[in-house]
Chain A
């Protein structure tokens, strides 16, 4: 019994830091509508800076001062990042800011290794809280008790800030209606900077307060960000009290999951999140999301089929790509194959994102379904490569179809998070159901047969399937069905009135995207000759999103270009420098800043200017 109580107290202590991180994330999203992927990075940097300061500053005051100073310093860094990067792209489509914060995350990940080295660092304990206290026959670390008390205190302080100060009232007002707040004289710019700095302060403080509990390492960022996202979504975006309740819940699930349900310990919080969203699509204490901005991909100008010249150019491009194995060695051919596979993945995500207006944070789910589909078809059913390649996309189709049914009531960030949950659930099945999937050891020996056994042959196969998938998705898009899809995205009510059911259309978009992603996953399995749970993991989802955003959401060729640029660049950087994440992050930030309205936004701007110049008698729009 007393052991359970001790476990419960450990969970409470974890909840405090989780709450600090998640409330910061939630506040930032509420006001600026930025999904701050870099929040985990700020948490990690807070821990590192606090480690350095507490090592140097002596005495009790030095330790506590160092922790607070670290949080403040990182908050200043956050403000700087907001001013230099985010402030310039608030007008861009919503997900573009996610891309920017992803760039910041990459930069931070390498910078901490550069500055503090790759090894774990163990920090000083908090003066006055070094010992343990006997409670219920168990020794509970005094520091844990401090954290347990800190949680409600932080909640209370935040409540006071938001309800008893002018800053807090303005933040709440701007959360609801930014434009009205501006018309009342509220300077949004500095309000946003202030909110961002506050959110980052909370994250960095949480990171710094972890010093006495665990060692500081450069994996802290991703580990916390996923939990924090889950907390924010379960609690309801923008609700601090919701974040508090959800942090308690998630921390306890983490503490007890491993004891009670060891088989599903890794996935339990995602199962709970899915259950909460099924009952309350806006989280426990959230409320229906009022979109303040058009969704990521609305555009005045829909896609158009290519003209004659465009088709010729595409044909020439495909021919040139097909000639690659004649002029280069195997290494390049294999790299090109991988790039093409990710192009298929990006195009399939793009169908979902731009056509149905659904952002997915878990596209790896369908990629992995394709990969494991191959593995089971070859190892389980004893099929050959051709049959496996035909079967695997069906696995993706079924998976996506079922998921879309389950997610029918959700939209926006909540839907995006549910896709992440779905991917994580599949990942943990792959990881923990060892008898079938081999767990961490994966499934090995999936080699392509016949002509495809050579790199060039497999490259051509991949190229052919890429052309097929991209071609089919374009044909579907330009059919009446495709216009229906986009109609459902732009104006659900009007689409419904002309007999197009938005729900059905969205289901179809998921099915198409899932099938395409599974094709990519199946090819990937044969390229690597093996399948590991990694194919279902978060980096695959993030990479595919980054590729689509980088290339531009509003054209079909965008994700293709984005995939080629991103994958080729990361493969090349990996071979060139030890600091490839840093370089990639800087490239992403440069792209984001050079095209603050998105790549496609720039093109639109040029077109508008050209059009208005040609219309005499009408003023020039500023």
Chain B
């Protein structure tokens, strides 16, 4: 296996800049079970990076560990020059790192507008700024149901709302967990277009994904996980050329 590329050798495409996310030697636990074993990855400013792996590879756990939502330890856990390792989740979010979970976790009792309000944070210099009106331009569906409770929305609408809610925090970077999961093919394309629009605004994204084709639509680079360990890091072209990494990705 060409496994041990990470974390010993520095990543290729962009250096772990002071204004990106830089993770090294990340371990995470659910109860007694250690799920992540020394995961390393980095995301530069304005980049879209895909976090790839099969079911159960540890993608979700990696994102949750970065946010501080599971018990974790790391050699390095830097975001825009700050060590977020000791921080609780809310403090990480307030440094401009957003998170959209796999299961969306919309507040079902709250209306669309109220859901957006829960994500609101003050404007952040250097990061794209969002208002409900701007978000409704990005996701026109939402604008037509501002008073609808989150529980009465379709899965696709909830996904848009989950992303919009996180954007209300004016983040520099968003961790997105399987944004296209369960969406109809046409909506998947809309989603990819919306995410690329976000990139043009200057937002960086780390997108956990099983679907290599969706990742290809978006990503500049990819990290591959298997069994809670890093298996590959490089550009999409390098990924296609690496048989071991492709093995780790083949759907079960």
Contact = CB atoms under 8 A, between A and B. Distances in A.
Interface of A: 166, 169-170, 172-173, 176-177, 179-188, 300, 608, 611, 618-622
Interface stretch (B11-19, B24-32, B51-59, B191-199): B24-32
Contacts of B108: 176
B79 interface: no
B27 A169 contact: no
Contacts of B121: 185
A173 B107 contact: yes
B78 to A, nearest CB: 17
Given A169-B110, A173-B110, A186 B118 contact: yes
A185 B105 contact: no
A183 B165 CA distance: 11
A180 B110 CA distance: 14
Contacts of A169: 110, 114, 117-118
B37 interface: yes
A187 B31 contact: no
B109 A172 contact: yes
B93 A182 contact: yes
A183 B99 contact: yes
Contacts of B119: 184-185
Contacts of B74: 619
Interface in B23-69: 25, 27, 29, 31-32, 34, 37-38, 67, 69
B179 interface: no
Contacts of B27: 618-619, 621
Give me the 4 closest cross-chain CB pairs, A-B, nearest first: A185-B93, A619-B27, A182-B89, A619-B73
Given A183-B99, A185-B169, A608-B32, A622 B73 contact: yes
Contacts, number: 79
Contacts of A611: 32
A166 B117 contact: yes
Contacts of B134: none
Given A169-B114, A170-B118, A185-B169, A180 B73 contact: no
10 contacts: A169-B117, A172-B114, A173-B118, A176-B110, A182-B89, A182-B90, A185-B90, A187-B90, A619-B25, A619-B27
A180 B101 contact: yes
Contacts of A166: 117, 120
B118 A179 contact: no
B73 A177 contact: no
B80 interface: no
A620 B165 CA distance: 34
Given A169-B110, A172-B110, A183 B69 contact: yes
Given A170-B118, A173-B110, A176-B107, A184 B73 contact: no
Contact of A621 (B71, B89, B90): B71
B101 A183 contact: yes
Interface string B83-94: 000001111011
A469 to B, nearest CB: 33
B30 to A, nearest CB: 11
Contacts of B118: 169-170, 173, 181, 184, 186
A183 B89 contact: yes
Given A173-B114, A182-B69, 11 more contacts: A180-B101, A182-B88, A182-B89, A183-B93, A184-B90, A185-B93, A185-B94, A187-B91, A300-B32, A619-B38, A622-B72
A184 B166 contact: yes
Contacts of A608: 32
Given A169-B118, A180-B105, A181-B118, A621 B73 contact: yes
Nearest to B117: A169
| Range class of the B interface residue count | 35 or more
Contacts of B105: 177, 180
A264 B115 CA distance: 48
A173 B73 CA distance: 29
A294 to B, nearest CB: 10
A173, A183, A188, A620 interface centre (most CB from chain B within 10 Å): A183
A618 B32 CA distance: 12
A419 B211 CA distance: 52
B67 A183 contact: yes
A302 to B, nearest CB: 14
B163 to A, nearest CB: 12
A345 B37 CA distance: 47
Nearest to B85: A622
Given A172-B109, A183-B93, A618 B34 contact: yes
Contact of B37 (A183, A186, A618): A618
Given A169-B117, A169-B118, A184 B109 contact: no
A618 B37 CA distance: 7
A621 B32 CA distance: 10
Contacts of B169: 184-185
Contacts of B120: 166
A177 B107 contact: yes
Interface in B101-128: 101, 105, 107-110, 114-115, 117-121
Contacts of A618: 27, 34, 37
Contacts of A176: 107-110
Contact of A179 (B37, B69, B94, B109): B69
Contacts of A173: 107, 110, 114-115, 118
A611 to B, nearest CB: 8
A407 to B, nearest CB: 28
Contacts of A183: 67, 69, 89-90, 93, 99, 101
